[in-house]
């Protein structure tokens, strides 16, 4: 995900628009949000990013290639965070709301019940967005007359 965001002009294009900017959170950790490291005893420890860290990574990536003296605030890049019901990724809803994000939990289906979930390694306990519920939410956001700052 991040390599596509750091292309020249992407950050400016996103930040200059006053429209809903939706980040879709996965239903489980993948190679971008989970990694192994060794602790002081040499034991392998699995580290997993939470939703706040994922949002910050996106914002940092977009800010990195802007030619500005200061960084854009989070809501210049992400205004809404949608996540599938039952996601395994930890979400601090209060913290994210405090920085101005609107959160929306979307109905989900088992990952192994659809082609996208199966292709990406999803198991029956992993969750992906229910396609109809996600489309309905995105259409609702697109048609809302709500002012996005």
| Proportion of the chain in helix, strand, coil states, percent, rounded to 5 | 35, 20, 45
- When pLDDT is cut at 50, 70 and 90, the band that residue 71 belongs to is confident
Nearest to 94, CA basis, from 50, 34, 28, 41:
50
Sequence spans of domains, the chain: 2-143
Amino acid 61: pLDDT: 87
pTM above threshold 0.85: no
How does pLDDT run across 83-136, given as a tens digit for each residue?
999 999 999 999 999 999 999 999 999 888 876 666 666 677 789 999 999 999
Q: Which three-class secondary structure state does DSSP give residue 36?
A: strand
How does pLDDT run across 22-42, given as a tens digit for each residue?
999 999 888 888 888 888 998
Distance CA 21, CA 59 (A): 12
Residue 147 in this model has a pLDDT that exceeds 60: no
- When pLDDT is cut at 50, 70 and 90, the band that residue 20 belongs to is very high
Residue 149 in this model has a pLDDT that exceeds 60: no
């Amino acid at each position: 995900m991040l390599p596509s965001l750091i292309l020249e002009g992407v950050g400016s294009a996103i930040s200059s628009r006053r429209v809903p900017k939706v980040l879709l959170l996965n239903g489980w950790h993948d190679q971008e949000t989970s990694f192994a490291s060794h602790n002081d005893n040499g034991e392998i420890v699995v580290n997993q990013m939470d939703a706040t860290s994922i949002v910050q990574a996106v914002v940092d990536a977009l800010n990195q290639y802007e030619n500005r003296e200061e960084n854009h605030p989070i809501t210049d890049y992400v205004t809404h965070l949608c996540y599938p019901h039952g996601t395994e990724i930890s979400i601090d809803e209060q913290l994210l709301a405090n920085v101005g994000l609107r959160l929306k939990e979307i109905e989900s289906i088992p990952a192994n019940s659809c082609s996208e979930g199966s292709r990406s390694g999803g198991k029956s306990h992993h969750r992906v967005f229910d396609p109809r519920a996600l489309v309905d939410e995105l259409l609702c956001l697109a048609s809302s007359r709500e002012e996005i700052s």
